[in-house]
Amino acid sequence: MDPLVSGLIYFISIPLFIVSTAWWLRNIHIGKPAALSALFSIVFLLGSYIYLSSVNTMLPVWAYLIAALVVAILSSFALLIYRHEGASTRRRLSRH
């Protein structure tokens, strides 16, 4: 594993995560679909963990647990948003 590559991925993914999260929240606020922006947020948040797990087979168990916890939390938020968007779309369609 190259520590320079790992560090670059980590420090590049932080601003990308912030931008994609702002995009996600903006989409939620204006009522646009937010699934794609949520997916980008998850990928950028876990980018360094994905790299580490793909090149290093000797990661401690806690690293996998943290990554799984982050995925579980973000997935539950994404599911809540999806259900909310589906309900608001059904209400708009039933009015017409």
pLDDT tens string 37-69 = 888 888 888 887 788 778 877 778 887 888 788
Token pair listed for 58: 């000797």
pLDDT tens string 15-43 = 998 898 888 888 877 878 777 888 888 88
Token match 């209400």: residue? Answer: 91
Whole-number average pLDDT of the chain: 78
- Residues 6+ positions from 20 with CB-CB distance below 8 Å: 37, 40, 41, 44
pLDDT number for residue 92: 52
Give, to the nearest 10 degrees, the angle between helix 61-95 and helix 35-55: 160
pLDDT interval class at 71 (50, 70, 90): confident
- The distance from CA 58 to its chain's CA centroid, rounded to whole angstroms, is 25
